[in-house]
Structure 1
Amino acid sequence: MLLFVVFEEDENTMRSSIRSFLIVLTCFVGLTAPRVLHACTVCVELPKASIADHVLAAEVIVLAGPTSGNPFKFSIRRVLKGSDDRLKEIPEIPFLVDSVMRRAFRSDPTNTVLFTYGATRTDRAGRSFSRGWKRIFTMTPERKEFIGKLRSVGQLWTYGETDSSDRISFFSDYLWHSDHVLHSTALVEIGRAPYDLVRPIGDRVSTNQILEELNRLDRFVYRPTVIRLLGLQSDTHARSIVRQRYIKALNNGGLNAFEWALAGIEADGALAIKSIDLVLQGNQMTDDDKWAFVRALTEAGSSQPRFRGEIIAILLTVLERDRILAARIAFATRNWGQTPLHQQFKAIADHELTDPATEFVLNMVLDQEVAVE
């Protein structure tokens, strides 16, 4: 995820500038990619909008059940949010009551399903171009309590927000909740949150619970999040497994190489960083794997400043051999302050063979540093 800090006096102006810049920046960064990257599986596979996003941004929230005269059609039983006038303006709930839900309603006629109406997706600038109904889940006492707390605690959260420690703290309480829907919802939220904000919630659950999740093939989509949580466990069993898996990832690369390398740094610190350095010095890896290991280093440097000296030395060597990674390294280290990397960034930006996209990105990062000073 790319973020950029703009120094403005007005907060609304600052947010608008950030969003506008990200639209342009995403296009430029895409041009610098040597090939399609595996990147972060969470970013690719998990929903871009979470249950919390749909509930908090909804214009209308209702509980619905089957229509008395038509068991296949939903009708509103209770309105949790939204005026009567607004309900008249929007379309009817388009979803049909399937066979599973019909059986549930027959066994308990008081069952209801939570629906929201509002933005179904937004662009990178936070603008919504589509609205519609979203089926959230069948209500239970636990989920009713969850929705109540969410609407109370999350009043000031914005659609798609990830960099909120309060939000992470709230959802960390639902990790490995007995309700699998709430558990999965928490994994989505934790998985897309900045790593430095996730680190403090380590050891919130048992290693055995994490390993059980990790070994389930039907939960593959949550694996990147689970690997990060395993890396944050402090017990010897978790550390032993992480050591085995990150060394294997360094040797073989592939899917989740980034997460295992990052977990390895949590387990072995400087030793893991040195191991990553040795791998990066070789030439037997794909561009995807190379970026995965470099990304693990920059993520560790951002969240654990004590390692920055060693990591900067490695990144300088990487840049000397592979300048195509310069733009992404620049963004990943943009909040580290003045470092020897900036001299390298400037040299690459000024080089006549540097492509315009990379030059643009590097100059933006360098200009940001000047603005801070």
Structure 2
Amino acid sequence: MSVAIRRFSLLVLVASFGAVLLNTSAAWACTICVPYPERTLADRLLENGEIIFAREMENSPYVFAPIEPLRGAEASGPIKLFCDSATRRKLLYIPDSAVVLARKSSEDEWRMITFADRSYQPFIRAIVDNGNKWLESPGNDDRVRYFSGLLTSEHSQILEQAYLEVGRAPYSMIKPLAREIPREQIYQFLANFRFIEWHSLYILFLGQSDNPDDRAYIRKQAESAARLGMTINLAAWLTAFIETHPESGLEEVKTWYFSNPDRSKDELEQVITSLSVLGSQESGGELPLFLLRDNIVNSYALLLDNYPEMAGRVARDLAMWQVRAHVERLTEIRRRMPQADPSEIYQLDHYLSMAPSYPQVGPHGLN
């Protein structure tokens, strides 16, 4: 890897890691369903001051006429705009279809946001109409609740947007939504392997169940994943397992993965993602959540002893939670890894420089 690429990679890591530490909403966002920040349709729409539905003018390729204003002053045509051939064919053959065009102000050029068939257009209107109200909603609660009501949609584009919006919400906001999703629908969705990459959200919903059959099903899935070394939706299954087995779940996961010296990095990344999300819940003074985070921090000792290469991920969590723990272990690991990945070094150095200012975990701290 060239020096320039290494420097660029480190700059990206520094920026993203710093954003996590400085932005509370980013810090507590659930990363199980949507691991990396992804701009949704609503994000792309609501950043614009003018939005319209438009169609290509007859006998005028790449020239569009406004057919309905959605936000801002009423636009006038014609609008010259490149449009890919697939979208042009859909506009030609799908009745009452349109494209969504948007721009920040009248001084900017129009940009195409998406194609919208007749069923998708009310969804677009609702996003635009709700935009201002969502901005005033504390913690985006209204926005998440709106999209959670669309998780039963049969329209593939609406379902995808609902998943992205709800899946990137804080875990503490996802949990209560589980009561609104019928149990039968959860199992029906999990049985559809066409959407296997979207199963995580529904697994988290299932993890809020107190039904003994659901608890047994989750245990079976978690044990199978541990036995077979599976990583697909592993973070979600382990999260659901710990939620439904509060007395023993964390200890069992610790035994399955941190005590076993033959786990892959992909498996361990999924396990840490699960524990990071569980540990990042706002406790609000609730003792079980407070103790859960302490127990997770404690479990990282065994992880560091058997898998020192995961020190960067551990340091990231400890810095995010602002707790002082495992400082001696991490210092020794850092001393032995001068040639490690720059991102790992940065995460470790940042945490070790900040750790003295953080409160200890437990009465004596964890070394």
Deviation at 1:281, TM superposition (A): 0.7
CA distance in 2, matches of 1:180, 1:329: 37
Name the structure 2 match of 1:365: 351
- For the 8 Å contact 1:171–1:190, the answer to whether it is kept is yes
For normalisation by structure 1, the TM-score amounts to 0.72
Distance (Å, rounded) in 1 between the aligned partners of 2:115 and 2:134: 17
- Following TM superposition, where does structure 1 have runs of at least 4 consecutive aligned residues deviating by more than 6 angstroms? 84-88
Instruction: Tell me the distance in 2 between the aligned counterparts of 1:92 and 1:100.
Output: 16
**What corresponds to 2:6 in structure 1?**
none
* Partner secondary structure for residue 278 of structure 1: helix
- Any residues of structure 2 matched to 1:269-284 within 5 Å, and which? 269-279=246-256, 280-284=258-262
String of CA shifts for 1:170-200, please: whole Å, max 9, x gaps: 3223222455533331111122233233223
Is 2:43 the partner of 1:43?
no
Q: CA deviation at 1:56?
A: 0.7
Q: Is 1:194 matched up with 2:170?
A: yes
> Are 1:307 and 2:307 an aligned pair?
no
Give 1:245 shift: 0.8
Matched ranges for 1:38-117 at <5 A = 42-43=34-35, 48-69=38-59, 74-83=64-73, 91-92=80-81, 94-95=83-84, 98-105=88-95, 111-117=96-102
State the distance in 1 between where 2:186 and 2:114 align: 29
Work out which of the residue numbers 131, 145, 159 in structure 2 matches 1:151: 131
The 1:165–1:80 alpha-carbon spacing in structure 2 relative to 1, beyond 3 Å, is closer
SS of 2:39's equivalent in the other structure is coil
CA contact (8 A) 2:150 2:159 kept: yes
- 1:323-362 correspondence runs (5 A): 323-349=308-334, 351-354=335-338, 355=340, 357-362=343-348
Cα separation, 2, equivalents of 1:113 and 1:99: 11
Moved more, 271-280 or 340-349: 340-349
Q: Write the letter of the residue equivalent to 2:212.
A: T
Question: Distance between the aligned counterparts of 1:118 and 1:370, measured in 2?
Answer: 48
Give me the whole-angstrom Cα distance separating, in 2, the residues matched to 1:372 and 1:91. Answer: 57
Q: Conserved in 1, the CA contact under 8 Å of 2:150 and 2:158?
A: yes
- For 2:267, which of 259, 268, 289 is the aligned residue? 289
Q: How many residues align?
A: 320
Q: How do residues 156-195 of structure 1 correspond to structure 2 at under 5 angstroms?
A: 164-177=140-153, 179-195=155-171
Deviations 1:199-240 (A, max 9, x none): 232222011111111221322331222222222334334323
Report deviation, 1:21.
Answer: 7.5
State the secondary structure of the residue aligned to 2:280: helix
One-letter identity of the residue aligned with 1:135: T
- Match of 1:259? 236
Q: State the Cα deviation string for residues 71-111 of structure 1 (Å, max 9, x = none).
A: 997532122235578988x7425245555543432xxxxx2
Distance (whole Å) between structure 2 residues aligned to residue 363 and residue 55 of structure 1: 39
The aligned counterpart of 1:316 is: 301
SS at match of 1:338: coil
Q: Give identity over the alignment, percent.
A: 17
With over 3 angstroms needed to count, the CA separation of the structure-2 counterparts of 1:333 and 1:114, relative to structure 1, is farther
Conserved 8 A contact 1:59-1:116 = no
Measure how far apart 1:115 and its partner are: 0.7
Partner residue, 1:31:
none
Quick one: distance in 2 between partners of 1:305 and 1:260?
A: 22
2:206 is the alignment partner of 1:230: yes
What is the CA distance between 1:241 and its match in structure 2? 2.0
Aligned to 1:108: none
Q: Which amino acid is the alignment partner of residue 295 of structure 1? A: T
- Of 221-230 and 243-252, deviating more is 221-230
Paired letter, 1:307: L
Q: Secondary structure of the equivalent of 1:76?
A: strand
1:133 aligns with 2:112: yes
Could you say what the CA RMSD is over the residues aligned between the two structures, in angstroms? 3.7
Measure how far apart 1:325 and its partner are. 0.9
Aligned residue identity for 1:43: P
Q: Is contact 1:73-1:95 (8 Å) kept? A: no
Go from structure 1 to structure 2 and tell me whether the alpha carbon gap of 1:179 and 1:21 turns closer, same or farther (over 3 Å shift).
same
Distance 1:156 1:95, change over 3 A: farther
Q: What SS is found at the alignment partner of 1:333? A: helix
- Deviations 1:242-291 (CA, angstroms, capped at 9, x unpaired): 12111111212222222211111111123221211111211232111122
Q: Residue 54 of structure 2 contacts residue 98 of structure 2 at CA under 8 Å; is this kept in 1?
A: yes
Does structure 1 residue 204 correspond to structure 2 residue 180? yes
